[in-house]
């Protein structure tokens, strides 16, 4: 594993990594356990990935923690996920402070239980001045919902003569997204073997490199992260340009 880590080029580490943490339920099923058992063990992967993203020099990490569609899951599973979120935030505050990690959230937080909102606000406030890594939790998040909200908010400004239609551009749209304070995603990882985006950061991953692994989330550890980052570094990011143009820019 250390050999894999030593191959990673510090100057080519993705600035912003987003992860769809998938496979908790299947992991639990393989062990003849209830789905919530998988969620509880998935917390260990979260801790390890945060720690080693910071170690690699990743500046932004966004985790798909709870989607708008997840509200349709069994009530017990949703309740357990919310309890896990609160308990994890309480337990990990000292670690976030120690490692200079700032916590933010994206999504429709008004949908969350009041105690979850309160705990989130407290940790966000206490870590707001940390600068090493920004950890963004996507909670009650859906990209289509986000884009609909953007359209509504921009439309209101046009109607109220605060904004002209001709002024609407990518920057204006970016400024109305939940992720307005974050840079574009460079690298998106999805675990569990599924090869789809599942309504996650559709606008923000326009030029991101995508990485799919069969590893279930509770089994995803630092060696898996290092392997993924190495894969990223071996790709050529062209952003619509040709290979020759990229070579000229890098010369």
Q: Catalytic residue positions?
A: 22, 70
Structure tokens that stand for 202 in this block: 């559709």
Axis-axis angle for helices 35-56, 75-98 (nearest 10): 20
Structure tokens that stand for 137 in this block: 């939790």
Other CB atoms within 10 Å distance of the CB of residue 70: 16
Q: Are 81 and 35 in contact (CB under 8 A)?
A: no
CA distances from 104 to 117, 127, 236 (A): 12, 9, 30
What backbone phi and psi angles, to 5 degrees, belong to 178? -60, -30
């Amino acid at each position: 594993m250390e050999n894999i880590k030593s191959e990673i080029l510090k100057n080519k580490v993705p600035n912003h990594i987003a992860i769809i943490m998938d496979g908790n339920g299947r992991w639990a099923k393989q062990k003849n356990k209830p789905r919530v058992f998988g969620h509880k063990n998935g917390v260990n992967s979260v801790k390890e990935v945060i720690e080693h993203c910071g170690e690699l020099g990743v500046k932004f990490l966004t985790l798909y923690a709870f989607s708008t569609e997840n509200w349709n899951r069994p009530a017990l599973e949703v309740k357990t996920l919310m309890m896990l979120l609160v308990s994890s935030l309480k337990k990990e505050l000292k670690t976030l402070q120690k490692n200079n990690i700032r916590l933010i959230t994206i999504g429709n937080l008004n949908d969350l239980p009041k105690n979850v909102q309160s705990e989130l606000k407290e940790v966000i406030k206490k870590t707001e001045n940390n600068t090493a890594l920004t950890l963004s939790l996507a909670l009650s998040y859906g990209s289509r919902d986000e884009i609909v909200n953007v359209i509504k908010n921009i439309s209101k400004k046009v109607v109220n003569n605060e904004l002209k239609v001709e002024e609407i551009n990518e920057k204006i749209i970016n400024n109305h997204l939940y992720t307005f304070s974050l840079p574009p995603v460079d690298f998106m990882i999805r675990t569990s073997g599924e090869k789809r985006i599942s309504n996650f950061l559709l606008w923000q991953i326009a030029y991101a490199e995508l990485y799919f692994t069969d590893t279930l989330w509770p089994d995803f550890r630092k060696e898996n992260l290092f392997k993924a980052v190495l894969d990223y570094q071996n790709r050529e990011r062209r952003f619509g340009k040709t290979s020759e143009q990229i070579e000229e820019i890098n010369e």
